[in-house]
Amino acid sequence: MAKKKLLIVESPSKASTIKKYLGSDYTVMASVGHIIDLPKSQLGVDIDNNFEPKYITIRGKGPILTDLKKEAAKADKVYLATDPDREGEAISWHLANTLKIDASSPCRVTFNEITKTAVKAAVREPKPINMDLVNAQQARRVLDRIVGYKISPILWEKIKKGLSAGRVQSAALKMVCDREEEIINFVPEEYWSVTAECMAGKKGFSAKYYGEMGKETKLPDKASAYAVLNDVKDAQLLVEAVKRSTSKRNPQPPFTTSTLQQDASRKINFSTSKTMQIAQQLYEGISLGGSLGTVGLITYMRTDSLRISAEAQKEAVDYLTREYGSEYVNPRQYKTRSGAQDAHEAIRPTSVGIVPASVKNKLTPDQYKLYKLIWERFAASQMAPAVYDTMQISIASGTHTFRASGSSLKFKGYTAVYIEGTDEKNEKEKMLPPMEEGQKLTVAALTPKQHFTQPPARYTEASLVKALEENGIGRPSTYAPTLTTIISRGYVIKSKKLLMPTELGEAVNDIMRNNFEKIVDIGFTAGMEDKLDLVGEGKLEWRKILKDFYPDFSETLEQAKINVEKIKIKDEESDIICEKCGRRMVYKLGKFGKFLACPGFPECQNTKTIREGTGVMCPKCGGEILKKKSRRGKEYYACEHLPKCDFMAWDAPVKDKKCPECGGILLRKKGRRSKVFCINEDCGYEKRLTAGEGSDED
């Protein structure tokens, strides 16, 4: 008789995928994330008793735990297959303790990808729970709990209730505030350029002023620019030197968590949290039908490793050779940066043979976009460099020198599959017309232009994630929740992708910077991450981190309670009058975004949702179509009489324009291929938008 086995994972969708890979003697169940954690209502850490955590069953998880205990009692063997990281290791440890499983027995199963081969191989080789990883997670959890629960009450008292501080989030907020301060304090400096529009035969090109007497010369003001102009305007321009060569551009490595978040932001306009949400779905499994069944399409998405398995590399080489030819293939392994964790592979498709186009109809539009991005980046990483013909020329006019350069693609290499988001603008450079040394050029125009140095750019989600990683702040699992927290708390707002601190964010940052300097210090935060890594490697005892940290922190905390003065943040007034008491209502930030509230609270507790009209009338009932947000923050459009009228659309209605074919409402679809189209499916009218007509590429 076959032995009954129970395998526990974190998510129901992951359980559903894995069930199809294992035989009938396996039961697969989900813990639905953590089942045990620190209590929300209290600190939950006994500081005087060697920082002992007080774990409890999470509210609402009782029934799940009961079901797991019942199945565990029936099973001959229980396997714990939570996610392959510190958090997953800790969940397995809590499950082992609750289900009375010996953590040192071979009960832990890990796999980097959810495929039939990987899951079956992992189940054949279970291991003990890695207590070093568990302790690294405990150290992070306890440390962050102490920082958050000890500092947050000071913010409540001195600013307002509902605020929070955190070891990583406060360091990230400081970076945004510091950048804003740099921008405010920036003093622009004037400089000038002179551009010569030249003709080589019948072909024109532009050359930039370089300098005088063979040396680079700056033009700090109008006088210096016009001095060059006067010297050159009547002089002969001669090609002084021509340098022809080829250059190679190598592909980027496969994605890590941070680079995936960065490129998804640049190329498909995903927020960090959305990227991780969609990546989780691709990892846990998609039903592809037919012989493929349900399969995890990508490897584990929380990683900072660039390593790929030999099997995955061989499959990629075979596929690329077959599809593109051997000249396009250049297999390589990439070096993972110093300090990164190498437990997992880079993010890649579980099978390069599952090309995005072949599964497009099985994926949601967002899943398809992200899978395509991951697939293309991985495929490109194993391809040959792109080769360019380049040409640089130096042009002499008396003692003055102008320079020009150009390039053209000679061999596509990896660009046949993928172009990095940061490189796309550079692809427009063209080759210069043929020229030889000593050739005389005709000047069509000389254009002087005033410029000013620019302040550093505000962070985007992509650039802030990059900066966090470069400074060693946080780890792959923390980037998205950190950004989500500082935005949802109202510390930072996002406008056209740019992150700007609010008055509230500046106030919180001032308190943190002036009273908890060590907590927001980039070097300290990065050093703490290194210590947590040492715990995970078994080289440092986890409670020692807390013992070293707490005495100074406790003293700082007591001083802050005395020193921090109250800060009044004035609410932004609206032009809407409270119908209950006549006051002018103010904007407040709640769990699901901004809303209107009466400033007379608690005497008057009137609140309103913010109405954002479109000026377009509902085709069903004649009411106004309003712009709304779902609980997950996704924009949609609905009739003001919802739910009586059920009109809803994901795309924005176009104001003051009707369908030229049938007179119906036009909707505008955003994205790289912006278009307007008729809401009436029977009509079928649609029109692509160019940049001049208001596409997203303006």
User: How far, in whole angstroms, is CA 92 from its chain's centroid?
Assistant: 28
- DSSP letters along 429-489, please? --PPPP--TT-EEEEEEEEEEEEE--PPPPPBHHHHHHHHHHTT-S-TTTHHHHHHHHHHT
DSSP label at 349?
A: B
Q: What counts of helices (H) and strands (E) characterise the chain?
A: 18, 30
What's the chain's length in residues? Answer: 698
* Residue type, position 228, single letter: V
Cα separation, 575 vs 586, whole angstroms: 9
Sign of CA dihedral 599, 602, 604, 607: positive
3-class DSSP state for residue 212? strand
Q: How many other CB atoms are found less than 10 A from the CB of residue 567?
A: 16
Output Rg (C-alpha) for the chain, integer angstroms.
30
The structure tokens listed for 64 are 């799940």
How far apart, in whole angstroms, are the C-alpha atoms of residue 407 and residue 384?
A: 19
Catalytic residue check, 300 = yes
Determine the Cα–Cα distance for residues 578 and 411; give it in Å rounded to an integer. Answer: 67
Q: Where are the beta strands (DSSP E) in 491-609?
A: 492-495, 498-501, 573-577, 584-590, 593-597, 607-608
Three-state SS annotation for 161-198: CCCCCCHHHHHHHHHHHHHHHHHHHCCCCEEEEEEEEE
Catalytic residue among 26, 79, 283, 300: 300
Which residues, in sequence order, are bridge partners of residue 675?
669, 688
501: CB partners within 8 A, 6+ apart: 173, 176, 177, 180, 491, 492, 509
Active site residues: 300
